[in-house]
Structure 1
């Protein structure tokens, strides 16, 4: 499966340029994408400072004020794209086979957008002690990944609706009005299934969504705190800290 990819590197703390091993963090992500053999074209949405480190063939577009705006800026470069793979720039442990596996699992299901999730069991077996935010569902305990595969034609509309969900994420009352009280109660009592979550988010976003259980925890290990950075450096090599890892 060949797709076009947009790497989101617009955070204000400059994490994409944090040194991990012998190179800036974003280069590990770009390498995994390029070596996967699944990426047709590649664009980075981020600050101008990235120009000095991006490899040949990778285009830079300005970051937006939000991740959604950055994704739209990148998508504008590929008006003929059928599928877009949105990837954050802060997952340096990402491997080519994780990208390949995710896209292959997406190919087996019919949907408009796909989101990877990783079980806590898989995370802790591969990286003991790694700290992630988990959600307990009836199917198991999962953390989210840091990429989304989406049909290019629906990105603008889904982006607008997802921004509203993000805006309301700290208001349980507002969210319950959108998702319904029954959905919220099921979630809080840990009786919600993956299939039920897929159905509700598909309704809210106006497009069919699918959660893809990935066996590759590297998809979900983003560098958003010091312990994450130290883990990445233990695995990939060390380097002096130059930027904050706070979001």
Structure 2
């Protein structure tokens, strides 16, 4: 069984502000329900998830879901919120990390991602979705895409990792998470040649995985979710 952390503390100060005046992205209503509830529902229905830790605004403490073990009040830092969530993890096993802005997440997708992670050797896994699959499933939704030799992908905003690796590259990870929607700046942290090869579409998933291992000493793996 896997414990899940949901980061729901992002302020609503970007483009979504034009849609809703809710102070947090997680609270933006979709069909009458806060966006984060759809994420939590998918995790609630996933057989592999044993308990859920939510890091977000106090308003989420009223959640009525059996697997939500605790709601920790968030700060304004993504990495601080991650640390707060990890402090609530009860064991020393891999954990699943999800953001609150993926309301189209399903229990089947969660199960598939976890199964694919367990089938590979690695310390840190990140879900990616190819452009064709993403646009077919969710037409009209704007996403950030990166062109690689293997295809064109967008991030799935699901991570699977062992808590022990976090301290190894905390500072680097904080910068990378803050740049998760800016692929060019993210590649700049990985080296100039990465920028050039990205622009030329010459990077492969394996190239990125090797670079992460060289920089951090951990085995990072991209998981292509169907």
Deviation for aligned residue 1:147: 1.3
Q: Does 1:5 align with 2:4?
A: yes
The answer to whether the Cα contact below 8 Å between 1:9 and 1:45 also exists between their aligned partners in 2 is: yes
CA distance in 2, matches of 1:69, 1:124: 33
How is 1:151-230 mapped onto 2 (pairs within 5 angstroms)? 151-165=162-176, 179-215=190-226
Structure 2 CA distance for partners of 1:54 and 1:207, relative to 1, 3 Å: farther
Q: Does 1:80 align with 2:91?
A: yes
Residue of 15, 19, 29 corresponding to 2:39 = 29
Q: Which has the higher contact order (CA 8 A, sep 6+)?
A: 1
2:210 match: secondary structure: helix
Deviation for aligned residue 1:185: 2.2
CA distance in 2, matches of 1:102, 1:110: 14
Structure 2 equivalent of residue 142 of structure 1:
153
CA distance in 1, matches of 2:221, 2:180: 20
Structure 1 equivalent of residue 132 of structure 2:
121
Q: Does 1:94 align with 2:93?
A: no
Per-residue Cα deviation, 1:130-157 (whole angstroms, up to 9, x for no partner): 2111101111111111111111111233
CA-atom RMSD in angstroms? 2.5
The answer to whether the Cα contact below 8 Å between 2:44 and 2:65 also exists between their aligned partners in 1 is: no
Per-residue Cα deviation, 1:35-60 (whole angstroms, up to 9, x for no partner): 11111221100111211235345211
Count of residues in correspondence between the two structures:
214
The answer to whether the Cα contact below 8 Å between 1:161 and 1:204 also exists between their aligned partners in 2 is: no
Structure 1 equivalent of residue 79 of structure 2:
68
CA distance in 2, matches of 1:28, 1:168: 25
1:157 match: secondary structure: helix
2:80 match: secondary structure: helix
Deviation for aligned residue 1:175: 7.1
Using structure 2 for the length normalisation, give the TM-score.
0.85
Gaps of 5+ in 2: 13-23
Using structure 1 for the length normalisation, give the TM-score.
0.78
Residue of 42, 46, 62 corresponding to 2:56 = 46
The answer to whether the Cα contact below 8 Å between 1:135 and 1:142 also exists between their aligned partners in 2 is: yes
